[in-house]
Structure 1
Amino acid sequence: MSNKLEYKDLLDAGVHFGHLTRKWDPRMAPYIFMERNGIHIIDLNKTLNCLEEASSAIKNIVRSGRKVMFVATKKQAQGIVAEEAARLNMPYVTERWLGGMLTNFATIRKSLKKLQGIDKMMKEESYKNLAKRERLMKTREKEKLERVLGGITDLTRLPAALFIVDIKREHIAVNEAKKLNIPVFALVDTNSDPNKVDFPIPGNDDAYKSVETITKAIGRAIEEGLQERKNEKEEKDREKAEQEKIAADKAEAKAADKTEAKAEDKSESKKEEA
């Protein structure tokens, strides 16, 4: 990757600071470098390796034209996650994870349709004729739905993968994805079980700078996947255009040969007549 993260970038962002040692999950042991002042220090070389593996896998998912859902409802992660997902035109959940958002997607689709319906209605003339109280109720309903579903309004089918910040907090999302065999990529701190996700990226999931650094790295991998998909499509279109041109040239040449042959026949028969 062009703007690949270095060890120093992770260090500067404080990605290596884990939780207090007494709050640790022993299953994170392989990713812990040492203990300092009662805090676990994460091995950033492991973080870099995991990040590279995750980036490569997520890039391939996106290249096949599918969506990655970003999930982060903790305050310090909401802004950056929503911003990065929106920039890449990917779905995101930063307010509240509705139980069944994946496992009961049909119901979520109904709520999305309801939101689109209210939206459409508000643009119509008849809306202005509603009583003030009714208009207020519709506005409130729209705001409530938008707050929870705003980041997934364009989602027409289940995402192909999830990117999560803090799997302890987002355990419902993790469980739903597991049930549906949807791979999970996640920033995993020392107080969590990395075995619960497919691609754990060991790191500090509390500090804004750490969350931003990892989220943007994943964002860049997604961007590369999108670009490669675009390039492949353009290449296919170019090949198709070339093949069509060759076919058209052949047809033209064939037609010209026929015309020539006819002209020759005519002059031959004229000669014979003479």
Structure 2
Amino acid sequence: RGTEMRCSNLYLCHFCSSTPLCSLFSFSFVFSFSDGPELRCPSTYTADEFTPYTLNCIAEGFPKPDTVWYKDNEEVDLPEKLTRRDAGQYVITASNNHSNVSVTVEIFVQCKSFIHTSSMTDCICCMAVFLKCASRGYPRLNYTWHYYQTANVMEENEDGVSLLKIHHANADNMGSYTCDAWNSKGNVSKTVRVTVIEDYLPLIAGFVAVTVIAISIIFLFIYSIYYKNTKMRQYSFENPKFNTHNGNVAHSNGDLQFPMTKLSKQHICA
């Protein structure tokens, strides 16, 4: 007949015969063995931000295994209260001198949203304007815009971001645009002021063009006067001096009297 007792992977076995001489013939054996670690953790865990939590991961084995937490391949220690920065995927490893085992846990931290956007936006008239409302929070956020409704404004939500598109912005689109982001943990809002600036570029371009044309006209007028006074020769026919030249009218010495040759009566009558 035998009995056994297990305590911390130690087994005590006691044997004896069924005869009255049992007390004279009894044997006791103690066995000790090593057992690989076992690790039990939930695959996902959700906690509220800045709130105490209970994430139970049970490691069993003999000798007692050591447990280490890793995030992004770096060893970490979880704080007593989780924040949104603690959300993510963790790898927990349990090991002893026999073997090791690892499991993965995805931690979600429920928190209020926080909107990232500017408070002022200036845009040029007749151009497209994009207002972006992005935030961080869990569970996934919902968005609502509040503004003066016009036909050229459209809303688009994609991948946790809300876009407000203003096509051909005009004076009717000036004003405040408020984005509300909310989930089960609360809500937050941000207001953007949009100012539409008149586009003076076409007027400036027209003014420059007119100025260039006016300068060109003035330059041509001045140059024509200069050309007449310096390039064109002036000749006088008063008191001509006759000579025996060949009668050519060209002369290269400036404003001199026109050279002429006197003709005889015989040549005139002919």
TM-score, with length taken from structure 1: 0.28
Higher relative CO (CA 8 A, sep ≥ 6), structure 1 or 2? 1
Structure number, greater radius of gyration: 2
Structure ranking higher in strand proportion: 2
